[in-house]
Each structure stands twice: as structure tokens, then as C-alpha cells.
Amino acid sequence: MRAHLGDQLVIEGTRSGAVRRDGEIVGLHHADGTPPYDVRWSDTEETALVFPGPDAHIHHLEHGRPEAVHEPVAQDAGPTKADSPRSPAAGSPGPGDVGRRVAVERRRQGLGVEETARRARMSPRYLSYIEEHPADPSLAALIRLADALGTTAAALRGGGADLPPGQGRALPRPRLQDLAPDECRALLSTHGVGRIAVSTPDGRPAVVPVNYEFFDDTITFRTAPDSLPAAAVGAEVAFEVDHVDDALSQGWSVLAVGPASVTTDPDAVRELTERAHTRPWAGGERGMWVSIRPTSLTGRRITAADR
């Protein structure tokens, strides 16, 4: 049996009258992750030294798969990949939003990892893991972290995700930076959803979100001939795309302005369709490709100012 900090130890209670119990492994006594463990039980929040028996198994933090106690290990075998300390593999995902929110709140409070871990009654190694990996800490661990950081578990989890972005606190020292055209093009090329500003038939302004593509310095999107975005054809329009990172209170926006036209050449339409990253989320028949070739391209980014 081998475990890492933050893994869950589960006692199945297979004996008559025994109750299933689980807890978070908050302390290791051997570098190779073998028992015993310091376990904080979820039912009492008390921490105890535990020597797991045959009715115990581990749910690993990374994979959520159980490991049986009686897993055979060859006596002459060297350390395996699973036994080695966790480290992000090449191309592996970075920290998750929970970890980034924890790190941001910790720095806002001017706290180090050791002090925060002490206040939250958890291992500094486990706190570092939460901040650096896409971890999913238990609710009990989140509550302790939130209390240590003067916030709430819901806030650390991203509560209010259905609300419009940007309602969190601003950075203590924000920096507003203009983006060069090449960086604007690079951000546009991430594709996704953008907003097009058009004039309606009665002359009123309107802003409509559309799924868009960016090929050969041209913004394209699919729509229906009788839809509101189709009003862009034959006019100079504004197209905006942005990204708001609520976990870090920063973001960017790009604004493109230029004439819009319909792409009618069959080969060009076929190429656009084949290269498209997604279909319009609005559904329905949307086979009309509208293209915008920007004559003006500007952008801004908000980040933390250098200390």
C-alpha cells in the first residue's frame, strides 16, 4: 500500500457491525508512501495515526482509483513510477481553478505556504500540491483553507460561476497594457465565442455573440440569412473577443473593426466548413458564412503589476 498526501483512506467495515469510515491522509511517516499514516477522519475532523488493516484501501487524489492493501510488491523491485513523488508530466495540465484561487488569496493575505498550512491544519506539501495541480480537495479541507484565508469554501470553489465574470475583487496593483497587433491576432486565433456589434434594420445598435473562426487574418462566422448577425453584411462592424480570469482577477480583450461580407465561393465555403473548430451553438440551419477583414486591430490586457 502506497499513498500520497491528500489521498483518501477508506475503511470498508467488512466485519459484522463495523461502520465504513474515510479520512484524508495529511501526514506520511515514510518517504515511499507506505503506512502508517496521519489521517484526518471526515466524521470527527480528528487526526490519528493509522496502521491500515485488510479492510482498508486508498482512493488516490489524482486518479480516484482504489488501491488494495494486499497489492503484491516484488522484494527486489526498484521504485516504480507510481511510487515516485508526484510531479507534473510534460504536457500535463497546470493548476486547477481551486488551486489558483487558494494561491491568489494566500498572496493577498501576505501569507507563506507554511503559515497557511499551519492555520488550515494541513501539510505544507499538500497545500503546495493543491496550488500546483488540478486537485479536488475535500469539502473539509476547503473549509479549513477558507477559514485560514478569510474567505469562504464556495468562493474558493468558484461559487457564482453562473454570474457575469468580473465581479471579484480587483488586483491590489493592476497593470493595464495595450496589446500589439500580432498579439491581438494570436489571441483571436484561439477561436471560440466573440461578439459582433451591428445596426438592426430599425437603426438600433445590437451586440450578438457568435461562434467564430480566425483564418488568414480574417474573422468568419456562420449564421442564417434572416438572423441579426447577418445585418453585418455590407457594413463596417466591430467584433470583440475577450477572456476574464476571475480566479486571478485579470484578463484581456481584443477589438477588430472592418467591413463584413458574405463568402459565396463554393471552394472557400467548403474549406471554411472543413477547418471549423465547432458548429454554431445556436443550432439550426446556419450555412451563411460572413467574413470580417479587420482594418483596425487593438487590444488590452490586465495583469498584476511587477513589484
Average pLDDT over residues 110-125: 90
pLDDT for 79 equals 31
Q: List the CATH number of the domain containing 137.
A: 1.10.260.40
Q: Which domain holds residue 212?
A: 176-304
Asked if the structure places residue 39 within a domain, the reply is yes
Residues 209 and 300 in one domain: yes
Q: Are residues 57 and 132 in the same domain?
A: no
Average pLDDT for 299-305: 90
Give the residue, 134 or 19, on which the prediction is more confident: 134
- Asked whether residue 88 is domain-assigned, the answer is no
146 and 252 housed in the same domain? no
Residues 60 and 128 in one domain: no
Same domain, 186 and 269: yes
Do 227 and 149 fall into the same domain?
A: no
End-to-end CA distance of the chain: 46
Going by C-alpha positions, the residue among 205, 215, 197 that lies closest to residue 289 is 215
Q: Is residue 288 domain-shared with residue 186, that is, in the same domain?
A: yes
172-216 tens-digit pLDDT: 788 899 999 999 999 998 878 999 999 888 888 999 999 999 988
CA 103/CA 125 separation, integer angstroms: 14
- pLDDT computed for residue 49 by the predictor: 83
- As for how many domains the chain has, the answer is 3
| 8 A C-beta contact, residue 285 and residue 219 | no
Q: Is residue 227 part of a domain?
A: yes
pLDDT in tens, 119-175: 988 888 889 888 888 777 877 888 889 889 888 887 787 765 566 677 767 777 888
pLDDT at 18: 57
Q: How many CA atoms lie within 13 A of 199 on its CB side?
A: 8
Residue-wise burial string across 115-152, b where 16 or more C-beta atoms lie within 10 A, e elsewhere? ebbebbbbbbbbbbbbbbbbbbbbebbbbbbbebbebe
Domain-embedded: residue 86: no
Residue 75 counted as domain residue: no
Q: What is the pLDDT of residue 256?
A: 96
89 within a domain of the structure (yes/no): no
42/125 same-domain check:
no
Rounded CA-CA distance 28/32 in Å is 9
pTM (two decimals): 0.55
Residue 280 C-beta-side C-alpha neighbours within 13 Å: 19
Angle between helices 124-132 and 113-120 (to 10 degrees): 110
pLDDT of residue 159: 63
pLDDT tens digit sequence for 44-86: 777 888 888 888 888 876 543 444 333 333 333 333 333 333 3
Do 233 and 291 fall within a single domain? yes
CATH number for 196: 2.30.110.10
276 and 198 in a single domain? The answer is: yes
The mean pLDDT of the chain is 80
Asked whether residue 229 falls in the same domain as residue 290, the answer is yes
170 assigned to some structural domain: no
Residues 150 and 31 in one domain: no
Q: Is residue 1 part of a domain?
A: no
